[in-house]
Amino acid sequence: MASYPRRILRMKNLPQHATDTDVRSFFERNRLEIDDWTREYANTTRISLPVGFVLMKTDVDVVQFSLRTSKTEIAGRHVHFEPVGIPYRGPRGKSPYARHDRASRDSENPLICYQSCVQSC
């Protein structure tokens, strides 16, 4: 369990209508396998937020993904990826979804964020 944070990528600007097939096929096209993925939801409305997390097979896959991937479009929208060790921040230095979702407020701790997203799905 201690190796999870190094294996997690954060997806930002993920389309609301992106499906499991969309995300998995994106990684297959880049010749990488993923263990699992999840997205954040607003607690009160259960509307999907444009933030998701991908659990890669190994931490080497995270590095290879960063080096190899040039096209980062999922379901017709450009998606930004970053290793989860980097806190997600909006332009003012705060998570723009913190008021909606506990997982976003806890984004300082990627393992708590990932676990809370998995439990809520």
Q: What CATH number is associated with residue 93?
A: 3.30.70.330
Total of domains in the chain: 1
pLDDT (0 to 100) of residue 93: 53
Q: Which domain holds residue 111?
A: 4-120
- The dihedral through the CA atoms of 52, 84, 104, 36 has a sign that is positive
pTM recorded for the entire structure: 0.65
What's the average pLDDT block by block, 10 residues per block, for the chain (121 residues)? 70 92 91 90 90 89 77 87 65 49 46 51 45
For residues 14 and 39, the answer to whether their CB atoms sit within 8 Å is yes
